[in-house]
């Protein structure tokens, strides 16, 4: 089997072939493909496809799935952010009990650069270098200007709904000066925290600390971080006329285009990355033997959506730094074991 074919996952009508896992990367059919730095440089690539203030899509090419998954897990669990860690409840007469309210407050993403803060140990006191302070002091009352028959609660009550934008940042130490250009605040002001009715009150103080997603999901800097293999559609025989129209309808919009050659309509692959690999085309007998659906084993389409705390392109850069640091640790441990500095139990085995 040619290397290109071995590097494809084949999608059939009732199964998927060529998916057998290997005991180690860069091996196919039990045959190892020798790794060299030069060959890796020739095949490895990162292509930025799309960047917005909250999202980034890029292609990671020429690596094993273990590397792609390591990058995904780092994005989710090992990039630090600031989040509400402690809630000191002074008064809460609302219907949502203290612990649930504290949990909801903790999930509000806070717009604060984690690089500007130190890690806080369990035995340390809060300081302006490791802690941010927010305060919520809000009371619900009837709106005296609302009509007697008003049914819209947002008009009928004052502070009937409590939103994240009502959290007040209380600068500590020199924080007001340090963050004068970009004041600390919730990323979004319209996150509903709770609802209240006249006479109910919430007074609490919140302390934000630095943490990572593997400790609690509230510290995760991404809403989603996922990847998929690049779809590949191979048209083995010309598909023309009415068949071309039917063929195009078997795929998501934009995947197949109809072109006219010598007065004949012909199907052509326009953008395979939009394909959802639905396999609808394989259910039509008229296309049997004319199309082959595969996925490229070492071409990953990454999609990362930031919570808004850290720019998505910065998140990817930080994740790569963490991955390289892990590689350095692994190399050092391997060198120590190889030189007889450790791993005595392994040697005995």
> What is the CATH classification number for the domain harbouring 118?
2.170.120.12
Q: What is the pLDDT of residue 116?
A: 95
Residue 330 lies in a domain: no
Quickly count: other Cβ atoms within 10 Å of residue 184's Cβ. Answer: 22
The mean pLDDT of the chain is: 91
Q: What is the pLDDT of residue 172?
A: 96
Rg (alpha carbons) of the chain, rounded to whole number? 28
| 266 and 254 share one domain | yes
| 193 and 86 share one domain | yes
Q: What is the pLDDT of residue 4?
A: 62
Q: What is the pLDDT of residue 193?
A: 97
| 215 and 228 share one domain | no
Q: What is the pLDDT of residue 22?
A: 61
Q: What is the pLDDT of residue 32?
A: 65
Q: What is the pLDDT of residue 27?
A: 64
Provide the number of structural domains found in the chain. Answer: 2
| 122 and 11 share one domain | no
Residue range 136-194, pLDDT digits in tens? 999 999 999 999 999 999 999 999 999 999 999 999 999 999 999 999 999 999 999 99
Per the rule left: phi > 0, alpha: psi between -120 and 50, beta: everything else, 340 is: left
| 92 and 202 share one domain | yes
Low-confidence ranges of the chain (pLDDT < 70): 1-4, 20-33, 341-349
Torsion on CA atoms 26, 32, 34, 37, rounded to nearest 10: 10
CA atoms within 13 A on the CB side of 161: 12
Residue 91 lies in a domain: yes
Residue 23 lies in a domain: no
Quickly count: other Cβ atoms within 10 Å of residue 324's Cβ. Answer: 10
Q: What is the pLDDT of residue 346?
A: 42
């Amino acid at each position: 089997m040619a290397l290109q074919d071995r590097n494809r996952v084949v999608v059939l009508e009732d199964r998927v072939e060529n998916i057998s896992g290997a005991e180690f990367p860069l091996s196919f059919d039990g045959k190892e493909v020798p790794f060299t730095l030069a060959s890796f440089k020739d095949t490895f690539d990162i292509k930025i496809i799309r960047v917005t203030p909250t999202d980034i899509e890029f292609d990671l090419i020429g690596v094993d799935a273990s590397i792609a998954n390591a990058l995904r897990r780092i994005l989710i669990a090992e990039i630090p952010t600031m989040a509400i860690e402690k809630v000191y409840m002074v008064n809460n007469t609302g219907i949502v009990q203290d612990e649930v309210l504290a949990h909801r407050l903790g999930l509000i993403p806070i717009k604060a650069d984690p690089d500007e803060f130190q890690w806080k140990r369990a035995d340390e006191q809060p300081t302006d270098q490791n802690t941010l302070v927010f305060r919520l002091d809000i009371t619900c009352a009837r709106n005296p200007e609302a009509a007697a028959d008003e049914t819209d609660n947002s008009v009928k009550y004052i502070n009937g709904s409590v939103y994240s934008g009502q959290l007040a940042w209380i600068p500590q130490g020199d924080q007001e000066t340090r963050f004068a250009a970009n004041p600390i605040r919730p990323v979004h002001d319209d996150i509903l925290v709770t609802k209240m009715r006249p006479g109910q009150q919430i007074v609490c103080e919140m302390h934000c600390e630095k943490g990572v997603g593997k400790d609690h999901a509230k510290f995760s800097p991404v809403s989603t971080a996922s990847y998929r293999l690049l779809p590949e559609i191979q048209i083995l025989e010309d598909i023309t006329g009415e068949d071309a129209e039917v063929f195009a309808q078997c795929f998501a919009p934009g995947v197949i285009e109809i072109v006219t050659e010598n007065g004949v309509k012909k199907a052509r692959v326009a953008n395979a990355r939009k394909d959802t690999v639905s396999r609808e085309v394989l259910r039509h007998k008229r296309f049997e033997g004319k199309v082959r659906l595969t996925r490229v084993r070492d071409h990953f389409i990454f999609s990362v959506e930031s919570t808004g705390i850290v720019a998505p392109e910065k998140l990817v850069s930080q994740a790569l730094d963490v991955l390289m640091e892990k590689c350095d640790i692994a190399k050092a441990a391997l060198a120590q074991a190889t030189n007889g500095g450790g791993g005595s139990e392994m040697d005995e085995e």
